[in-house]
Amino acid sequence: MVRSRDDIVRTIGKPLLADDERVKISCRNVNVYYGEKRAIREVSVDIAEQEVTAFIGPSGCGKSTFLRCINRMNDTIKSCRVEGEITLDREDIYDRNVDPVLLRARIGMVFQKPNPFPKSIFENVAYGPRIHGLARNKSELDEIVITSLEKAGLFSEVKDQLDHPGTGLSGGQQQRLCIARAISVQPEVILMDEPCSALDPIATAKIEELIDELRRNFTIIIVTHSMQQAARVSQRTAFFHLGNLVEVDDTNTIFVNPEHKLTQDYITGRYG
């Protein structure tokens, strides 16, 4: 059954998980405003544990905005206001008693443009552990840095130049450094906003492999403009359109047998 543009208020597919045990993050009736403008409308969705969820949709539809609600990075934008309920492990993250700083230590983020600090590779990865006091001494810190770099698949490439500036690496290496930096504080969730959009196909393939690897330990949400990437790395896919969450389902279903006409048009490239 193909539906029209007008009745997408209710998300179709399987936005809510049947198995309550698997829910890591749940969002209910989330609205986001920039000043007067509503950028996200009544979005309700569950994110499953240890699985990759992909957010797709045309530019400007609110994917990044919604992603940034989950680690409360929207708090840093003065005009931005979030309504509704978002829970992490069944605790409301917008509760008064929740410290966004601690929350962000549990929910890491990788940005579209690689943004290593203008410090050495070592210092880049050691930054988070230092702030949160995760290492009691230098050798523990070394250990954390090395395992993070290993998990990010970068260690073998940079092991002799840990004291070189992180900004001197190639774009793909920088992005993996940012991933290492994000996982160094052992978050439970990693949010990735178009992590490969500035990279070439080889670096992209490496990062995709890495995401598949990281899925075992982390819950991952990835925003992407590449259908192939969403199909390759994710287990569930959510399609956004003009601030609405149109359709959520298993990635397979979305790509093989989408229900909504907008979804169909978008993934077959007829959107526009």
Partner 1 sequence: MQYAYLLILITLLSAIGYYLGRQRSSRLVKQEIRRLHSLPGHYGMYVALWCSVPAVIILGLWITLQSSAIESLVISALPPEIQSLPQEQLSLVLNDIINIAGGIIVSDAPDEFLLAAAGHYNQLKGTGFLALAALLMTVCAGGLAMGMRYIRPDMRARIKVERTMQALMLLCSAVAIVTTIGIVLSVLFESIRFFNQIPVTDFLFGLKWSPQIAIRPDQVGASGSFGIVPLLAGTLMISLIAMLVAVPTGLMSAVYMSEYASDKIRTVVKPLLEILAGIPTVVYGFFAALTVAPFIREMGGRFGIDVSSESALAAGLVMGIMIIPFISSLSDDVINAVPQELRDASLSIGATRSETVVRVVLPAALPGIVGSILLGVSRAVGETMIVVMAAGLTAKLTANPFEAVTTFTVQIVTLLIGDQEFDSPKTLAAFALGLVLFVITLCLNVIALYVVRRYREEYE
Ligand X SMILES: Nc1ncnc2c1ncn2[C@@H]1O[C@H](COP(=O)(O)OP(=O)(O)OP(=O)(O)O)[C@@H](O)[C@H]1O
Nearer to partner 1 by Cβ, of 189 and 267: the residue is: 189
Q: Which does 15 bind (CB under 5 to 8 A by kind): partner 1, ligand X, Mg ion, none?
A: none
Binding of ligand X by 168 (CB under 6 A): no
Q: Which does 60 bind (CB under 5 to 8 A by kind): partner 1, Mg ion, ligand X, none?
A: ligand X
Binding of partner 1 by 103 (CB under 8 A): yes
Nearer to partner 1 by Cβ, of 81 and 104: the residue is: 104
Q: Of 153-172, which residues contact partner 1 (CB under 8 A)?
A: 165, 167
Q: Of 36-65, which residues contact ligand X (CB under 6 A)?
A: 39, 57, 59-65
Binding of ligand X by 8 (CB under 6 A): no
CA–CA separation, 211 vs 217, rounded Å? 10
Q: Which does 59 bind (CB under 5 to 8 A by kind): Mg ion, partner 1, ligand X, none?
A: ligand X
Residues in contact with Mg ion by CB under 5 A are 64
Nearer to ligand X by Cβ, of 39 and 221: the residue is: 39
Dump the DSSP string for the chain.
----GGG-SS-EE--S-S-GGGEEEEEEEEEEEETTEEEEEEEEEEEETTSEEEEE-STTSSHHHHHHHHTTGGGGSTTEEEEEEEEETTEETTSTT--HHHHHHHEEEE-SS----SSBHHHHHHHHHHHHT--SSHHHHHHHHHHHHHHTT-HHHHTT-TTSBGGGS-HHHHHHHHHHHHHTT--SEEEEESTTTTS-HHHHHHHHHHHHHHTTTSEEEEE-S-HHHHHHH-SEEEEEETTEEEEEEEHHHHHHS--SHHHHHHHTT---
Pick the stretch among 6-14, 48-56, 84-92, 177-185 that binds partner 1 (CB under 8 A).
177-185
Binding of partner 1 by 34 (CB under 8 A): no
Q: Which does 2 bind (CB under 5 to 8 A by kind): partner 1, ligand X, Mg ion, none?
A: none
Convert residues 71-110 into a mask of x (bound to ligand X by CB under 6 A) and - (unbound): ------x-x-------------------------------
Strand 219-223, strand 189-193: pairing: parallel
Binding residues for ligand X, rule: CB under 6 A, are 34, 39, 57, 59-65, 77, 79
